[in-house]
Chain A
Amino acid sequence: MDVILFLIFALIAVACAINVVVQTHPISSALSLVGVMGSLAVLYLLLGAEFIAAAQVIVYAGAIMVLFVFVIMLLNAGAETRKGRSYLIPGAPLLIVFLGLMAFVVQRIFPDSTMVRFGGFTGGGPKDVGTALFTTYLLPFEVTSILILVAIIGAIVLARKEIDQ
């Protein structure tokens, strides 16, 4: 059952990721990316990361992608024009070599000793994540708030209208 679930959602994720890269229109890419994020959320649930799965759907698929779609609509971005496909000649073999190397290394380092079972790790609920966040990782959490403040100020400064002097 776990294997079937994994295969279904891994295939959806890979298909949507390929769609992100090959679609010419940005809005198609954005919707495919939402598909990738949704199927990744299911895989997180399979790994016992309940809080991260919820945050993935709310923050990534909800907030960030809405921002993307909003900007695409605002800029009225059309389909991109292709100049040629000459890049595929060096690119595709390099991609396959990289994937083969990664798969080889992963199989060598992690021979199938650790098996993922649904319910095999239950320490990923909101309570556990919150406890770790406010004890061990309190300093990074506080630094994060400064980062967000700087990002807000930066976004406002960049996107504001120029005021006539």
Chain B
Amino acid sequence: MMNAVPISWFLTLSAILFALGVAGFLFRRNIITVFMSIELMLNAVNLSFVTFSYQHKEVSGHLFTFFVMVVAAAEAAVGLAIILTVFKGRSTLNIDDVNSMKN
């Protein structure tokens, strides 16, 4: 019994990490931290992919994780460039102050 981990534990850990990522995304005001919360959510989903890959004894889940990593890298490059541009124009990182499209 002590030699094996139930597969549901991995999925529950993934759900916990995803929920914490959602919490950070909704509650934090710093644009960089919001962005890091998105990365946290992507990591949680990756854990689910790898877990299901183990369950089905199939390598496809690893490939999807790989593609998620590639998309995350591209997203980080573009997102951080957008953050730089926003900071250059407004000198703030608070997402409450970036509300030009509100009205």
Contact = CB atoms under 8 A, between A and B. Distances in A.
Interface string A119-156: 01101100011001100110010001001101110111
A99 to B, nearest CB: 5
B69 A47 contact: no
Interface of A: 1-4, 6, 10, 13-14, 17-18, 20-21, 26, 29-30, 33, 36-37, 40, 43-44, 46-49, 51-52, 55-56, 59-60, 63-64, 67-68, 71-72, 74-75, 77, 80, 83, 87, 91, 95, 98-99, 102-103, 106-107, 110-112, 114-117, 120-121, 123-124, 128-129, 132-133, 136-137, 140, 144, 147-148, 150-152, 154-156, 158-159
Interface of B: 2-13, 15-17, 19-24, 26-30, 32-33, 35-37, 39-40, 43, 46-47, 50-51, 53-55, 57-60, 62-63, 65-67, 69-78, 80-85, 87, 93-94
A64 B77 CA distance: 8
A140 B2 CA distance: 40
B17 A91 contact: no
A151 B100 CA distance: 25
Q: How would you classify the secondary structure of chain A's contact residues: helix, strand, loop or mixed?
A: helix
Nearest to A92: B23
A2 B37 CA distance: 29
Given A33-B39, A95-B23, A116-B54, A148 B78 contact: no
Nearest to A77: B93
**Closest 3 pairs (CB-CB, A-B):** A115-B4, A151-B74, A158-B81
A37 B17 CA distance: 11
A14 B13 contact: yes
B71 A147 contact: yes
A2 B46 CA distance: 20
B20 to A, nearest CB: 4
A47 B50 contact: yes
29 contacts: A1-B3, A3-B5, A6-B9, A10-B13, A17-B21, A20-B37, A21-B23, A29-B32, A40-B43, A43-B10, A47-B50, A49-B62, A52-B65, A68-B35, A72-B32, A80-B30, A87-B27, A91-B26, A91-B27, A98-B19, A103-B15, A110-B7, A110-B11, A111-B8, A115-B4, A116-B5, A148-B74, A155-B81, A158-B84
